[in-house]
Structure 1
Amino acid sequence: MASAVGSGAAVPFWRAAGMTYISYSNICANMVRNCLKEPFKSEALTREKVHFSISKWDNGVPQKPRLRQKVG
């Protein structure tokens, strides 16, 4: 059996453009969110926010975590 790379099989266009699937997926998701009508658009934009905490470790003990927020 020949491998997909050596057989001349079609390459997804996002790969041919030098993108990763994650970056392609993020672009598509942003386009869909921008096409929504209100109130669905504002609801989708609020779900885009990400909250996470960062804890530094010192001598095997976690320090006080810091809450971070990333929008878009």
Structure 2
Amino acid sequence: MASAGGAAPFWRAAGMTYITYSNICANMLRNCLKEPFKSEAISREKVHFSLSKWVDAKPQKPTIRSDTPDH
């Protein structure tokens, strides 16, 4: 939603993207939770994905990765 006067959102004025701002807010919220909710929320923060190199238009064996965002 645009604000009157053409003012930029504060996260953009701070030089960050909305995704970066959103990740910071989500991380702060997770850290404010009490147990056992905090542990559950932090465990859902993990990201799982696979990478495959392509050689001669054929995928090679995928590499499974499991990373967590930096804190």
TM value normalised by structure 2? 0.85
1, 6, 18: which one aligns with 2:15: 18
CA RMSD, 1 decimal: 1.6
Structure 2 residues without counterparts, runs of 5 or longer: none
One-letter amino acid of the counterpart of residue 30, structure 1: N
TM value normalised by structure 1? 0.84
Residue 67 of structure 1 corresponds to which residue in structure 2?
64
Which has the larger share of helix? 2
Aligned residues: 67
The alignment partner of 2:6 has SS state of: coil
Q: Counterparts of 1:61 and 1:12 in 2: how far apart (Å)?
A: 44
Provide runs of 4+ in structure 1 moved above 6 Å.
Answer: none
Percent of pairs identical after alignment? 73
Q: CA deviation at 1:9?
A: 1.8
Deviations 1:10-54 (A, max 9, x none): 221111111111111011000100000000000000000011111
Structure 1 residues without counterparts, runs of 5 or longer: none
